[in-house]
Amino acid sequence: MLSPAAVLIENDKIKAVGAPSKVQAPSGAKVFDLGNATLLPGLIDSHTHLLVDPITPAEAERARHYNGSFLPGLLLAIIESPSKRVLMGAQLAREDLESGITTVRNLGHSGIDGDTELRDAINAGRVPGPRILASGRKLITRGDYIQSLNPALADAILEQEFLLIDGTDRARQAVRQNEFHNVDLIKVAADENLTVPELTAVVEEAHRKHLKVAVHAVDKTSIQTAIDAGADSIEHGNEVTDEQLKQMRGKGIFFDFTPTSYGDFFTKVVQGIIAESLTKRAERLEADQRNRQRYSDLAQQVLKSEFVHRFSASDNQLYNTLVQRVVKSGVKFAAGSDMGWYFPGKTRGQASVSRFPVLHQAGMTSLDVIRAITTNAAEMLGWQDRIGAVEPGKFADLVAVSGDPSADITELERVRFVMKGGQVIRNELQEDQSK
């Protein structure tokens, strides 16, 4: 931490950092005086899904699906036009960037090449967005992700979204299929059907091409499979044991926190969606006072009801112990929003960034929260030479907040200045003064 400080940028990289008296700006340099703001490296969201935005349906609709967890909205994303989907991805990417997220790791649910094409379009300057590390299709075993598909077409539909692992040969082939689309890493969803030899084959094949392997693993068995196969990061990791943390530390495997539903997140999402649809309905009935009153009464009842609160049952208690155990274990950690949800009233960027301060609520120091989405994340991505710190040689990816985020971590939700690769994306702090 340095105060006061100046940063000299040349083209898209940082050239010098230091006390303002030591950093000499050449004549003709554009000067941005950010006053008392705190400058930070651009934020890194290590786990997101820019090409899905499903609306959580009502409980009745969930109950009709036997596992109750995956959503009609996800199915729509697969069977609707990929063009429509990638344009939505472009919007969500821009919204992430405007909230200070200058790099994301996009871990699946993008169709065959939605994320790699979005990455390339951003890099080519066609649309604004963060730097993207794209995983391409998620590798899964034949499980219960999506139900009730037309059996005659099921494989064709599934293969637009996933690559199925079935034996070690098929596992290697899945990695190569993703390589063909120029992915930056491999994402695997581990469950109890996935064997250690299958995942080991994935890891070997990916590492041969210098791609890291991020493994979704929630239960204890899947976490052990990921450890034994030598994954690079474990996503979620909810049921990790202390013994497994020790093994992860020994092997240098990253723990990627995804506190998506911490702090009644889904309650707020569902309440917002219900309120939004009832409000729209009431607007359509504007002429009819009595009906309007009926709908607004109904909205109140629904918002108070038990089912809305059950959405949030998951993470609060879990995270309050998980965060402290992981940090204490000495395992390397980062964090991602795992955002893939429509949040009424918030942009995708606002919804994503709101997931990081909750780590502090769950017991992480503010500085560790900042590290989890800057320096630590950069190392997990293998991009520690490019991003994650305000240092000479790194990309000029910077954000500024008005206050001191080490004292109030929620400052991260109020980013006032965003720069990516030396380009100002947003500046609510001060007009530039050319020298």
Positions touching Zn ion (CB under 5 A) are: 338
Helices (H) and strands (E) in the chain — how many of each?
Answer: 17, 18
CB of 234 to Zn ion, least distance (A): 12
- The residue among 45 and 338 lying less far from Zn ion, judged by its C-beta, is 338
Residue nearest to Zn ion (CB): 338
- The residue among 315 and 338 lying less far from Zn ion, judged by its C-beta, is 338
At residue 408, what is the residue type? D
- Three-class SS string for 128-195? CCCEEEECCCEEECCCCCCCCCCCCCHHHHHCCCEEECCCHHHHHHHHHHHHHCCCCEEEEECCCCCC
- The residue among 256 and 411 lying less far from Zn ion, judged by its C-beta, is 256
Give the 3-state secondary structure of residue 331: coil
CB of 41 to Zn ion, least distance (A): 23
- The residue among 115 and 338 lying less far from Zn ion, judged by its C-beta, is 338
CB of 338 to Zn ion, least distance (A): 4
Going 127 to 119 to 382 to 362, the CA torsion angle's sign is positive
Q: Which residues of 331-370 are buried (b: 16+ CB within 10 A; e: fewer)?
A: bbbbbbbbbbbbbbebbbbbbbbbbbbbbbbbbbebebbb
Q: Which residue has the tokens 């942009």?
A: 347
- The residue among 338 and 413 lying less far from Zn ion, judged by its C-beta, is 338
Own/partner pairs for 153-159, CB < 8 Å, 24+ apart?
157/78, 157/79
- The residue among 109 and 420 lying less far from Zn ion, judged by its C-beta, is 109
